[in-house]
Structure 1
Amino acid sequence: MAAREGAILAVEGGFNNVIFESDSLQIVSAIRSPSVDRSHVGPVVEDTKVLLTQVTGDGFTHIRRVANGAAHRLARYASHIGTTTTWFEEPPDLLIDVIFEECNL
């Protein structure tokens, strides 16, 4: 669902040269696969593929979970707030220390 929501955001925002990163190799592989996904998440995967045809860029890439601290922190935060929030300029305060740590590794 997160992959699909990201694709929707990119399409609705008219973004170009988008690269989506995920630490779920299974989801990345399913989205990048040319065959139809017939799993229980298949309809969401297929909808995401259709959305991605409207976005230029590299699509989805896999990254290791330890290299994705900012996304992990955002996901944990999102699971508790219960509303939709979007940031486009400055990163939210909850990410400042994560970004600093990852840049200085």
Structure 2
Amino acid sequence: MVARDSDGNFLLAAAKKIPGEWRPETAEAMAAEFGAQLAAHFHYSDVVLESDCLTLIQKMHHPEEQHDEVGVLCRSIRRLLFASGQGGWKHISREANEAAHLMAHTETRWNERVVWVDQPPVFLIDQLLQDNVTASID
């Protein structure tokens, strides 16, 4: 997962190995919950979850209607986001979210979790710049 401020500047990136095989929507929700937990840990406020998983974003609006693991995760994410002040979520294009996907695919290199704060890992810098360009076009 990747966190940026409202201007698109890098705040933190994190990777965490999640054992087992999960549906893409569930894996995306697990990553979003991990990001919300980190936002709470670092006392970020007014956090907006951005995801290219449209079904996850749709389920975030009415998680009480979801009776599966994604619904449970959505309720947890909402609780974490609103605990730090104003919270929100929005759908973004896959092209504007490639840095997060790079982190998701890179995470398999570690057995636990890794967090980079203030300075992104070298392998992520070019993609962060590209995502900012793409987001400004969207």
TM-score if structure 1 supplies the norm length?
0.82
Q: Does 1:16 align with 2:16?
A: no
SS at match of 1:20: strand
Q: Distance in 2 between matches of 1:49 and 1:64?
A: 21
C-alpha contact (below 8 Å) 1:10/1:18 kept by paired residues: yes
**From 83, 89, 92, the counterpart of 1:54:** 83
Q: Distance in 1 between matches of 2:76 and 2:130?
A: 35
Q: Does 1:71 align with 2:100?
A: yes
Q: Does 1:33 align with 2:54?
A: no
**Residue identity (%):** 31
Q: How far apart are 1:25 and its partner, in Å? A: 0.8
The AA in structure 2 aligned to 1:62 is: H
The AA in structure 2 aligned to 1:46 is: R
Residues 49/98 of structure 1: CA separation in 2 closer, same or farther (3 Å cut)? same
The AA in structure 2 aligned to 1:72 is: H
Residues 103/15 of structure 1: CA separation in 2 closer, same or farther (3 Å cut)? closer
| Equivalent residue pairs, number | 105
Return the structure number with greater relative CO, CA threshold 8 A, min gap 6: 2
TM-score if structure 2 supplies the norm length?
0.65
Q: How far apart are 1:87 and its partner, in Å? A: 1.4
Cα displacement string for residues 44-102 of structure 1 (whole angstroms, at most 9, x for unaligned residues): 22122222220234522111112211111111111332221111111110111212334
Question: Runs of 5+ in structure 2 lacking a partner?
Answer: 1-29
Q: How far apart are 1:32 and its partner, in Å? A: 2.5
Question: Runs of 5+ in structure 1 lacking a partner?
Answer: none
Give RMSD over aligned pairs: 2.0
Higher strand share: 2
Matching residue of 2:118: 89
Residues 47/104 of structure 1: CA separation in 2 closer, same or farther (3 Å cut)? closer
